[in-house]
Amino acid sequence: MSSAPALASSLRENEQLIADLSRYAEGVLTESQVRRKWRLEDEVWELFGTDDSYVERVELERVRRIRSGAAKKEKAQLHVVAAPDVLNGILMDPRASAKHRIDSAKALNDLAGFAPQAAGEQEMVSITINLGEGEVYRYGGPVKPIPANDGWRDGGGIDAVPQERPLIEADNQVDQQEAPPVKRGRGRPRGSKNKPKAPKLEPESRPQGVLGFKF
């Protein structure tokens, strides 16, 4: 029995033990888990609750874990483990609505890691341009660009290397350069020297005079 205070005093500076005692106070670990890990007898365990130095160190560690977010993260991980059982209960319950059962199946699929990744489903395109004499350029990228991923370029040249630009941007500039000229509508072209023909004037009508007189 006399060795219990000495053992408790030797463990006072053990930071890992203080962290486990803080997890026990937060409900992350159980008493049996802590005592089995550190092989603590009943006398030593009781001294932890009566020794003010232990209580003070555990309280300081709890405050540090709360501010760093470690306490929230570990407790959330502990509780989220029960989510698959809850979702499975909804999925297998014939009295639940069809929508709730479908939603639980989707959530279980995501937790199982079977959800496809959006980046992995992107279709890629690549173009290789060989100019000879070791000057080869390769352009590529996703067919439908996603943010922060507008394509890639890998090229090598003898002297100068053209400026890097994404594949989609290069195609747009080529389309703009080769745009056909705008067709003018019908009519005389602008700047033509041909003057328009003057309209024909109708002969001036004369009033009918009295019979036998000329005007």
Q: Structurally, how many domains does the chain consist of?
A: 3
Q: Please tell me whether residues 103 and 74 are part of one structural domain.
A: no
Tell me: the pLDDT tens digits for 136-167? 777 777 766 555 555 555 555 444 444 444 44
Q: Please tell me whether residues 57 and 74 are part of one structural domain.
A: yes
Q: Please tell me whether residues 28 and 66 are part of one structural domain.
A: yes
Please report whether residue 76 resides in a domain: yes
- Domain limits for position 12: 3-80
Find the farthest-apart pair of alpha carbons in the chain and give their distance in angstroms, rounded: 162
Tell me: the pLDDT tens digits for 35-48? 999 999 898 898 88
Please report whether residue 183 resides in a domain: no
Give mean pLDDT, residues 42-62. 90
Please report whether residue 60 resides in a domain: yes
Q: Considering the entire predicted model, what is its pTM?
A: 0.50
Please report whether residue 208 resides in a domain: no
Whole-number mean pLDDT of the chain? 76
DSSP secondary structure letters along 149-190? B--EEEEE-SS--PPP--HHHHHHHHHHHTPPPPPP-SSPPT
Query: Identity (one letter) of the amino acid at 131?
Result: L
Please report whether residue 31 resides in a domain: yes
Check whether 133 has a pLDDT greater than 70: yes
Please report whether residue 209 resides in a domain: no
Give mean pLDDT, residues 44-66. 91
